[in-house]
Structure 1
């Protein structure tokens, strides 16, 4: 079932969100000081491409640097990506088949806003 959902996701939403995260990662890596944001963006791009069967684990003890970095990320890239998830999630929820995909889009909003201090782990 995960594979089927991932394939449908890839066609309807995953590829476009993947491109958004890759673009954000490239821009962050070009600006040398924001390379940690670029690495986080590439990590989330992989998750956005194939999300079913994996989940997000948030580490509350990530530290002050992670919190400051997340604020900077929200200002420059996070809200754009979150809007992308909201728009595609609403569009997917219009059909019955798309409802699980729309819900998956909504579940990705927190990691798109706060990528530092989060890990993507296999769902268990």
Structure 2
């Protein structure tokens, strides 16, 4: 019940806009063809951004078959960091700072910190229920 209330408040106070931003960003990445390796990561982040409470970000299982967990994933994350990741992570860090100033905003600040971590290096990560 608490997670539901927090998710609804999150959506009202910025989560909806942030999630739509991630969806649009993923669509733009898909249109460029070169951005296809990051498209699904952006859409995964969008899904998490819309409904973050009750879920967590984790590394995908390394079964040896997942290219996102090996050297290719590391290269994709470095390219992402250089061109977009650090800007997006910085935006989430700034949001977290201003949310943490208020006592009631601390749970939202913690989720923004998770989003910053995810935005910095999204390849090889997944979202799961807690």
The answer to whether residue 107 in structure 2 is matched with residue 107 in structure 1 is no
What stretches of structure 1 move > 3 A for 4+ residues in a row?
Answer: none
**Cα distance change of structure 1 residues 35 and 65 upon mapping to structure 2, 3 Å threshold:** same
Q: Aligned equivalents of 1:60 and 1:121: distance in 2?
A: 12
**How far apart in 1 are the matches of 2:25 and 2:85?**
9
**Aligned-partner Cα distance in 1 for 2:27–2:90:** 19
Q: Name the residue aligned to 1:117.
A: 124
Structural RMSD (CA): 1.4
Asked whether the equivalents of residues 57 and 114 of structure 2 are also in contact (C-alpha less than 8 Å), the reply is no
1:15 alignment partner in structure 2:
16
- Alignment partners' CA distance in 2, 1:83 and 1:121: 24
CA deviations 1:45-78 (Å, max 9, x no partner) are 0101110011011147410111100111112221
**Partner deviation per Cα, 1:15-34 (whole Å, 9 max, x = no partner):** 22213312321221111122
- 5+ unaligned residues in a row in structure 1: which ranges? none
Q: Secondary structure at 2:128's aligned position in 1?
A: strand
Contact 1:17 1:84 in 2 (8 A): no
- For residues 13 and 87 of structure 1, the distance between their equivalents in structure 2, rounded to whole angstroms, comes to 13
The CA distance in 1 between the partners of 2:23 and 2:87, in whole Å, is 13
- TM-score, L = length of structure 1: 0.91
Distance 1:20 1:79, change over 3 A: farther
Residue 98 of structure 2: aligned partner = 91
Aligned-partner Cα distance in 1 for 2:89–2:20: 14
Number of matched pairs: 123
